Chains A and B, each alone.
Chain A
């Protein structure tokens, strides 16, 4: 269902990025990278007071011809970006939201690994499997 899932560090470099049609990897990289502008914009638009109690889910960042890009920002400013096929109408906001929550939980697990060095690329089989399941899962 998701065609590309990315975890972006606070400093806006990719911690993890995977996409299904691998021949189009470059395109998704560009898409995810560009979407960070929108994430930044959305965060800065919220203002300081609201940052603390804001919702982590940012909603649709922007639609392109073929894809919809959704965003999610953790409290430590780690961004999750998910690219979804536009043709997939079965995906509602709520589903996307729960997918992000799942992603966040899995990411937290990665962080809890004492051998993981925060800021390194994520090489976790569990995380990989979770992402794969989110990409394969048919609604």
Chain B
């Protein structure tokens, strides 16, 4: 229970004091009214005696009474009305409130720190001792420091206002004061009159009220004299007369001074002491009377003891509460005696009397009387000095139960509980006290229940181990009852105190409930800020409430908020709690929205907020930009380079201030989340910003004006309505239009928060239906507020300090710098295909539009796949410039050929420099050929663009980065970029394989080498994309050293057709051509009527591009190998290897006949095969370790798809690689090419001459660049008997071994003679050729294999 100012004993004593009635004459009343007081109020401060009072008990022993208090009341002749009492109590409680603004005590109980006390600790005393005392006091008060003054006031008023009852005498009047003014004409007469009136009130049946203790009430005569008004002498005279008439003991002259304060206050004022002394005499008289009555009572009791039962049966009047005794019944007399003893603090005697009375009453089954006696017996037992017996709590319990259940008298029960609880509390029986208090809470009085529950709650707090949760729970119950009783402030206080226990402990349902109640109570008490914060709590914590409840919460919150804002309409906008904003998900986009495709025109994809962030692709874009910047800056990336970021998100680098361009919108995407189960409607949603204009072109900008607003500088887009459905995450895109350069800071969002009519929700109708119908039922309840966007940067983790502490870097996403005008490029693609065959060539157009007010220049494209597209070389000007004119036109540049020159190569030559692929340049960066290399504001240009389907089938994403600059240079932004991602789906077409072999034939002697090129073309298309058949229309070669000369095995039908899964073989003869420096020689073998000029765009473009990317690939693969080779590889080996190298590139040009929707199209395309090595098969697209040959095609696809991009890591040092220190025999055999020339059949007449001599010429040709020593050994190598059989039949004549030295590229013919002895078929290829480089000693000497059998037929004539 809360701490009381009084001790328990004092409290009980003060609760039962002798009552003295006061009866004033009219004049006396008037006199006291001068001071605005009634008589009883006038004497009230003096009602506690500071002196001792002596009393004799029935045994004539003297007792000393200390601190006796009496109560003086004016006589009121009607019993108090219950309604009046209730109102009085209510007022008492509501007036007594905890003082605000005081320092509160913190009570620590377990894990909880509770602010419960309203009592301030006076700790402001500066002296040490006092400070120490205060500290001690604080320490001792940790358990017990809450006061509840309203409860004490209530209790006091309750006890005072108790109506007098017949079953007890404690609040019966024991005496009556008759008060007469000295100013009256006949004061003595007046006394007589008053005395008569008192008698009449007490004894006439007219008045049942007030009750009097004894029939002949003691009277005390007071003459009131106003010193300031009346004659002193007259008063004295009257007083003397009174004394004579009523005795000195019963009279008093009370002098009061009603003057204003201008005279000495203490002059003539009667000493309060004397007044108390006079009252002592009242008591003494009373005692003497009592003694008398005592004897009388005992006498009557004895007298009646024998015949008590019949007496009672006459008198008893049964009612619900048992008996009703007549006033003079002896049992009542004992009770009266006990009460008297109690009033004069003779508790021992009182107890025994009560005890006796209790037994009597119980015997008579007079329950009301018995309960009263039990109650007082318990109290007097407690109050007995020295505590001879323990406090009989069960007496109290019985009394309470009887009062409540049998007598239905809640008032008496309540008194009982108040007393008992206080006593139990003083004995630290808090749990019992709490139980008692809780038991009395009932439906009939909310105020009482509330007060008692609160006290019970405090009891739980004060237990040895404080029960904090019980405290909180009962506080809530108390708060509930307070609120029902209309005590709003108390209710709020209770809930707030309970809140401390529930707050943040995970009991969200309870917490929400309390917060909601606090919010409501605060609102009714006009504590709007509290209300707002309480409602805010309910809404922002993850609420587990059902939707309807949340709707209520939200509506209340909005209503309260509206009230708050109406109070201060000019105040700063409040921070709204809803909806949630995921700050880190905020994205910022600079630039215009992407224009949708217009007809055939397809805008560059660029970048937009609709695209998801992809780490890999953003890295690619960055790489591309770096590449192009490096090219622009002559190979070096400037140190201040930062990649252009159009879209900032949580993954982008936000450590630097982003750049935006004036007059181009800044879009901020804010991620809202509605945590509630009710939809939220935001209206008039826009961004909040701050802008600082700055002129970046001027070098000095001294004064920068800070302008928070000004719509002429920044335009802001407003979203009129933005609905977020329940538990939905929704993005809002808000735009700002900067019209000036400067520094922009986006601070947050501002909006009206509202909700839609909840009836829709309750009916179970999806709110979005309302939205679709276009009539959003808006219930008008909305408040305007803001939410700030605060983005935390990434955690820093670079230095040691940053690693050990938690530091975050800045995030400048929302602080763009608005720079001056830049050109803005838009790119459209016309006729851009989505699907291609592998290797297909398609012509499309690109339109470049400058939509800004600045001219743009230095337009470049960069892509990782330069082999995919070309803008044409310098020859491109010849093609039609508009897409409409180019329809049904071949993508290639063609020339009609005459049919005679079919099989021979048509030659032309071109340099790679013409196609933008000069040495050292980055092939990825492609210069866009703008006329005059400038695009003026508003101007647009269409350029042709050829596309080459990638060689691998599947979906290809190809990234283009367009780079451009402004003509004017300025510091902040050097260039701009535009992105485009093309998605191309390719389907299989042809697979080209080619091998090159040395031709053994040495025709055109002296001209050196010739070779055979075998081209194997397979149609691997399985009628995908409606392809019917492929026609090979031309095969071209290009090389620096070789050219195709003619087709070898061409069939009669010139048309080379390949249906699905068909394979065709072509054979060409290639010859060495004159070396023309860096230029490539193109040779075209045409199978149709039209020659495609392979040295012109686009054929050559794609060839060069694929060549360069091929070179890049092989270069990357063999980089290490070559690096080592340069250092340690023998020059000789290099030379030998070079012999078997060719640099022949084959281009197969084809046409595909496609039927689609019953229409026939012709598609064109080309495949490239790069031949490096003699005898080694090369493919049109890179093979992966030749698996494809082993596995079937379909298996291969599976493998390809499944095989992850993982390879076994090999760790080795480059110098330890197993380099071929010796050239392979195969390579060596390519050093010297040999061929035998002889007649195929030789007729000889063996009859005439038995020996047949046949001349044979052995042609030796040095293929290498160096001198070679050659040894020719003609001796048969008889290793096997089989060989012997064949070979043994002919012999070489003459020298059997020759030693020769062949110069580089030299052809030497050796004339030999073979000798045959009989007819037959002979193999002449028995010779062995050894070769070694001339300047080497014995190294690498190896036999030249001559695998070809050279058969000769010798026949007899």
Query: What is the interface of chain A, defined by CB distance below 8 A to chain B?
Result: 9, 11-14, 25-26, 29-30, 33-38, 40-41, 44
Given A26, A40, A41, which contacts B509 in the complex, CB threshold below 8 Å? A26
Q: Are A12 and B470 in contact (CB under 8 A)?
A: no
Q: Are B110 and A40 in contact (CB under 8 A)?
A: yes
* A25 proximity list for chain B (CB < 8 A): 509
Could you list 7 examples of A-B contacts with CB < 8 Å? Answer: A25-B509, A30-B473, A30-B510, A33-B510, A34-B472, A36-B469, A37-B467
Q: Are B505 and A34 in contact (CB under 8 A)?
A: no
Q: Are B509 and A29 in contact (CB under 8 A)?
A: yes
Count class of interface residues, chain B: 10 to 19
Interface membership of B465, Cβ < 8 A: yes
Q: How far is the CB of A32 from chain B (nearest CB, A)?
A: 9
Mostly, the A contact residues are helix
* B111 proximity list for chain A (CB < 8 A): 11-12
Q: Are B505 and A12 in contact (CB under 8 A)?
A: yes
Q: How far is the CB of A1 from chain B (nearest CB, A)?
A: 23
* A36 proximity list for chain B (CB < 8 A): 469
Given B110, B460, B469, which contacts A33 in the complex, CB threshold below 8 Å? B469
Q: Are A40 and B465 in contact (CB under 8 A)?
A: yes
B467 to chain A: closest residue by CB: A37
* A14 proximity list for chain B (CB < 8 A): 506-507
Interface membership of B502, Cβ < 8 A: yes
Q: How far is the CB of A28 from chain B (nearest CB, A)?
A: 9
Given B465, B473, B509, B513, which contacts A34 in the complex, CB threshold below 8 Å? B473
Q: Are A41 and B467 in contact (CB under 8 A)?
A: yes
* A29 proximity list for chain B (CB < 8 A): 507, 509-510
Q: How far is the CB of A17 from chain B (nearest CB, A)?
A: 8
A36 to B110, CA, bound (A): 12
A25 to B513, CA, bound (A): 11
Interface membership of B468, Cβ < 8 A: yes
A11 to B505, CA, bound (A): 8
A40 to B473, CA, bound (A): 16
A11 to B465, CA, bound (A): 17
* A9 proximity list for chain B (CB < 8 A): 506
Q: How far is the CB of B481 from chain A (nearest CB, A)?
A: 15
Given B460, B465, B506, which contacts A13 in the complex, CB threshold below 8 Å? B506
* A34 proximity list for chain B (CB < 8 A): 469-470, 472-473
Q: Are B513 and A26 in contact (CB under 8 A)?
A: yes
A48 to B513, CA, bound (A): 38
Q: Are B469 and A37 in contact (CB under 8 A)?
A: yes
Known: A12-B111, A30-B476. A37 touches B470 (CB 8 A): yes
The 5 A-B residue pairs with the shortest CB-CB distance, nearest first, are A13-B506, A37-B467, A34-B473, A37-B469, A37-B470
Known pairs A14-B507, A26-B509, A37-B467. 11 more at Cβ < 8 A? A9-B506, A12-B111, A13-B507, A29-B509, A30-B476, A30-B510, A34-B473, A36-B469, A37-B468, A38-B467, A41-B467
In B457-478, the 8 Å CB interface with A consists of 460, 465, 467-470, 472-473, 476
A25 to chain B: closest residue by CB: B509
- Residue interface mask B467-495, A partner, CB < 8 A = 1: 11110110010000000000000000000
Query: What is the interface of chain B, defined by CB distance below 8 A to chain A?
Result: 110-111, 460, 465, 467-470, 472-473, 476, 502, 505-507, 509-510, 513
Q: Are B465 and A33 in contact (CB under 8 A)?
A: no
* A12 proximity list for chain B (CB < 8 A): 111, 505
B112 to chain A: closest residue by CB: A12
Known: A36-B469, A37-B460, A37-B468. A26 touches B507 (CB 8 A): no
The A/B interface has a contact count, at CB < 8 Å, of 43
Q: Are A26 and B110 in contact (CB under 8 A)?
A: no
A29 to B502, CA, bound (A): 11
* B476 proximity list for chain A (CB < 8 A): 30
Q: How far is the CB of B651 from chain A (nearest CB, A)?
A: 27
A44 to B472, CA, bound (A): 20
* B507 proximity list for chain A (CB < 8 A): 13-14, 29, 33
Q: Are A13 and B505 in contact (CB under 8 A)?
A: yes
Residue among B111, B460, B469 with most chain A CB within 10 A: B469
A11 to B504, CA, bound (A): 12
A33 to B473, CA, bound (A): 8
A44 to chain B: closest residue by CB: B465
B546 to chain A: closest residue by CB: A22
A12 to B109, CA, bound (A): 14
Q: Are B510 and A26 in contact (CB under 8 A)?
A: yes
A77 to B970, CA, bound (A): 70
* B472 proximity list for chain A (CB < 8 A): 33-34
A32 to chain B: closest residue by CB: B507
A12 to B506, CA, bound (A): 9
Q: How far is the CB of B504 from chain A (nearest CB, A)?
A: 9
A29 to B472, CA, bound (A): 13
* A37 proximity list for chain B (CB < 8 A): 460, 467-470
* B468 proximity list for chain A (CB < 8 A): 37
Q: Are A41 and B465 in contact (CB under 8 A)?
A: yes
A12 to B460, CA, bound (A): 18
* A40 proximity list for chain B (CB < 8 A): 110, 465, 467
Q: How far is the CB of B247 from chain A (nearest CB, A)?
A: 63
A58 to B97, CA, bound (A): 42
Residue among B111, B460, B509 with most chain A CB within 10 A: B509
* B509 proximity list for chain A (CB < 8 A): 25-26, 29
* A33 proximity list for chain B (CB < 8 A): 469, 472-473, 502, 507, 510
A35 to B469, CA, bound (A): 8
A103 to B506, CA, bound (A): 21
A14 to chain B: closest residue by CB: B506
Residue among B465, B467, B505, B506 with most chain A CB within 10 A: B506
* A41 proximity list for chain B (CB < 8 A): 465, 467
A11 to B110, CA, bound (A): 11
B476 to chain A: closest residue by CB: A30
Q: How far is the CB of A119 from chain B (nearest CB, A)?
A: 10
Q: How far is the CB of B422 from chain A (nearest CB, A)?
A: 23
A17 to B709, CA, bound (A): 52
Q: How far is the CB of A39 from chain B (nearest CB, A)?
A: 10
A5 to B925, CA, bound (A): 71
* B469 proximity list for chain A (CB < 8 A): 33-37
A74 to B506, CA, bound (A): 20
A36 to B470, CA, bound (A): 9
A14 to B508, CA, bound (A): 9
A18 to B470, CA, bound (A): 21
Q: How far is the CB of B279 from chain A (nearest CB, A)?
A: 51
A34 to B476, CA, bound (A): 11
A12 to B111, CA, bound (A): 10
B473 to chain A: closest residue by CB: A34
A34 to B510, CA, bound (A): 11
* B473 proximity list for chain A (CB < 8 A): 30, 33-34
A44 to B510, CA, bound (A): 26
* B470 proximity list for chain A (CB < 8 A): 34, 37
B502 to chain A: closest residue by CB: A33
A34 to B434, CA, bound (A): 15
A41 to B110, CA, bound (A): 11
Q: How far is the CB of A30 from chain B (nearest CB, A)?
A: 6
A39 to chain B: closest residue by CB: B469
Residue among A34, A40, A44 with most chain B CB within 10 A: A34
* B513 proximity list for chain A (CB < 8 A): 26
Residue among A11, A26, A30, A41 with most chain B CB within 10 A: A30
A62 to chain B: closest residue by CB: B470
* A11 proximity list for chain B (CB < 8 A): 111
A37 to chain B: closest residue by CB: B467
* A30 proximity list for chain B (CB < 8 A): 473, 476, 510
A25 to B224, CA, bound (A): 68
A30 to B473, CA, bound (A): 7
* A44 proximity list for chain B (CB < 8 A): 465
Q: How far is the CB of B495 from chain A (nearest CB, A)?
A: 13
A37 to B473, CA, bound (A): 11
A8 to chain B: closest residue by CB: B506
A31 to chain B: closest residue by CB: B473
A44 to B466, CA, bound (A): 12
A12 to chain B: closest residue by CB: B505
Q: How far is the CB of A66 from chain B (nearest CB, A)?
A: 15
A35 to B502, CA, bound (A): 14
